[in-house]
Amino acid sequence: MPTRRTVIATAGTAALVAGLPGAGWAEGAAPIATTKHGRVRGAVDQGIKVFKGVRYGADTSTRRFQPAVAPEAWTEVRDALEYGAASPQKSEEPNQSEDCLFLNVWTPELRDGGKRPVMVYVHGGAHANGSGSSPLYDGVALCKRGDVVVVTLNHRLNVFGYNGLGQLLSPHGGGAYGASGSVGNLDLLLALRWVRDNIAEFGGDPGNVMVFGQSGGGAKLVTLMAMPSAAGLYHKVITMSGQHVTAMGPQHAALRMRVFLDRLGLTPERAGELAAVPTAKLVEALSMDDPIEKGGITFWSVMDHDTLPRHPFVPDAPAESAHIPMIIGNTHDEARAFTAGDARNFSLTWDTVAAKLAPEFVVDLNAQYVVDWYRRQFPQMSPVDVFFAAATCGRSRPGHLIQAQERARLGDKTWMYQLDFGSPVDPKLGAYHSFDIALAFDNCHQPTSKTGTGPEARAVAAKMSETFIAFARTGNPNSAAIPEWKPYDLQTRPTMVFDVETRSVDDPRAEERKLFQVAPFLKQGT
């Protein structure tokens, strides 16, 4: 997905130079909040109090591949004016460090007993890249629109947060590295405990916490729903294109860790030496090929029979989180985020489309059969149209449908949406994977947004952000901003289609759903 870039606020505790980005932070005295670990000094942006780079966990470099711990308390007032470091990763994300357990808070007011809904966002980038510092995640607009508290965060990624070391060193479970396949998710739980213990100081309600995330962020949240240790730390969930139904199996996690060790010149018997390998060398090794599937080596949540005792949505939705209201979302043109950059995909013919389409599938269907089916079913479609539609439905849609279906079997606390509104700035991308982020945050104006700031984009953003806020507040997404939105069921499959004319549609793309559901879906990397 698109690379996340950190926006660093100019340091300072009082006024900023007028005319610079973020000059609104010059408003009023610098706010100071007291957390259980110490006091932090923030800034004010358009009337919203902002605290960036607040430490929620200790430096993980001394506990590499192990569960993080809370930070030591401090006595001075610490500046919280700049985003904290991101996890080490193979991307252009600046300011990377194993000392990366930081979060950011936006709030209308401090310690006023406001008991505002808390919206905690987990960033995407698979389980490999990204941070909570993208301008698209800026919380000012949501706070102003809905009187909520917004939190974003960083946590450990790729091999630092998810690996099979525990499977190699602790085959019977336990031990220092027994949870190595889930420490990135355990970081999220540490952050949620920080929210529980501190958010009242920031005007939030610790008993009303909604977690939401896009792509890999949504996938991590789906995984939390199957982790017993996450119980009680969140009260609503929104996943945006987070279509994981399976985690990485323990044997595949062990195999990947073996080849990663080999790349570093280590044997499994010397795996304990990983704790002393320089960070940069571990990141460099991430460039190796995966031993099981196409592409680079995969590290993400491991089903270890303990911290993660089961796959998130296989064989069913986890019963322990059935009471948690959930929204499951996807975009109409998900796959264009990964395929529209290749100009050849816009000049496909009926003779070439199947060969280009086949590698995009994550379900095992014959690509020529699929192309022929589309030609019969949708004769108005061109080869290019078929390529992008089938790439999305055969790659990026099946997991969302499985999640919604399995949740529907447990009750009526699940809603599903599809974003049809496409980019006016870059029409060839359509409603691509990650396009809903700026709309949900009401951040059309932010750098890297491809929504534009025209009236249609702002109208869709208003509908989406109002819906997310309503869900955060009550656990029901319905509000005056949208038509009636019924919970997902297996008979009618109601889906809210966000567009210039937002509407509820029963079972959108039904025929395509049926086509691709004849083949089993396992998330790549399982």
Quick check: is 138 in a domain? yes
DSSP, res 71: P
Residue in the block written with tokens 């949240």:
221
Q: Tens of pLDDT along 29-72?
A: 899 999 999 999 999 999 999 999 999 999 999 999 999 999 99
Annotated catalytic residue within 131, 133, 180, 215: 215
The predicted-structure confidence for 225-269, as pLDDT tens digits, reads as follows: 999 999 999 999 999 999 899 999 999 999 999 999 999 999 988
pLDDT for 74 beyond 90 = yes
| pLDDT at position 3 | 37
CATH number assigned to the domain comprising residue 70: 3.40.50.1820
Model confidence pLDDT, tens digit, residues 384-423: 999 999 999 999 999 999 999 999 999 999 999 999 999 9
Domain assignment present for residue 152? The answer is yes
Regarding predicted confidence, which is higher, 4 or 139?
Answer: 139
Which strand (E) or helix (H) includes residue 217?
helix 216-224
Q: Provide the Cα torsion 170, 171, 173, 179; round to 10°.
A: 60
Tell me whether residue 172 is one of the annotated catalytic residues.
Answer: no
404 and 326 Cβ atoms separated by less than 8 Å: no
- The helix or strand, by DSSP H or E, that contains position 335, with its residue range, turns out to be none
Question: Any catalytic annotation for residue 27?
Answer: no
pLDDT at 261: 96
Between these two residues, 18 and 305, which has the higher pLDDT value?
305
Give yes or no: 92 in active site.
no
Phi-psi region of 225 (alpha: psi -120 to 50; beta: other; left: phi over 0): alpha
For residue 220 the two structure tokens come to 């991590």
The amino acid that residue 100 corresponds to is C
Residue 347's identity, in one-letter code, is S
Q: What is the pTM of this model?
A: 0.93
pLDDT (0 to 100) of residue 149: 98
Residue 411 is assigned to a structural domain of this protein:
no
pLDDT given for residue 176 in this prediction: 87
pLDDT at residue 28 above 70? Answer: no
Q: Is residue 405 part of a domain?
A: no
- What is d(CA 43, CA 333) in angstroms, rounded to the nearest whole number? 38
* Neighbouring C-alpha atoms within 13 Å toward the C-beta of 360: 29
Q: What is the domain extent for residue 117?
A: 1-311+324-334+423-476
What is the average pLDDT across 298-315?
A: 96
The C-alpha atoms of residue 473 and residue 117 are separated, in whole angstroms, by 5
Which is catalytic among the residues 82, 93, 334, 466?
A: 334
Cα 385 from Cα 342, distance rounded (Å): 15
Does position 294 have pLDDT exceeding 90, yes or no? no
Q: Report phi then psi at 76, rounded to 5.
A: -80, 165
The 10s digit of each residue's pLDDT in 150-183 is 999 999 999 999 999 999 988 777 788 999 999 9
- Judge whether 496 lies within some domain: no
Cα 98 to chain centroid, rounded: 20
**Are the beta carbons of 220 and 301 closer than 8 angstroms?**
yes
Q: What is the mean pLDDT of residues 1-19?
A: 33
Instruction: Flag whether pLDDT at 26 surpasses 90.
Output: no
Q: Which residue has the tokens 């989180």?
A: 321
- Please indicate, yes or no, if residue 184 is contained in any of the structural domains: yes
Give per-residue pLDDT as tens, 129-158.
999 999 999 999 999 999 999 999 999 999
Q: Is the pLDDT of residue 368 over 90?
A: yes
Q: Average model confidence (pLDDT) for the chain? A: 93
Distance CA 54, CA 407 (A): 35
- The residue from 433, 465, 466, 512 that is catalytic is 433
Flag whether 347 is in a domain.
no
pLDDT tier at 13, thresholds 50, 70, 90 = very low
**Structural domain count, the chain:** 1
Asked if residue 349 belongs to a domain, the reply is no
CA dihedral sign of residues 487, 122, 143, 430: negative
Of 390, 460, 457, the closest CA to residue 427 belongs to: 457
Please name the residue that has the structure tokens 């100019």.
10
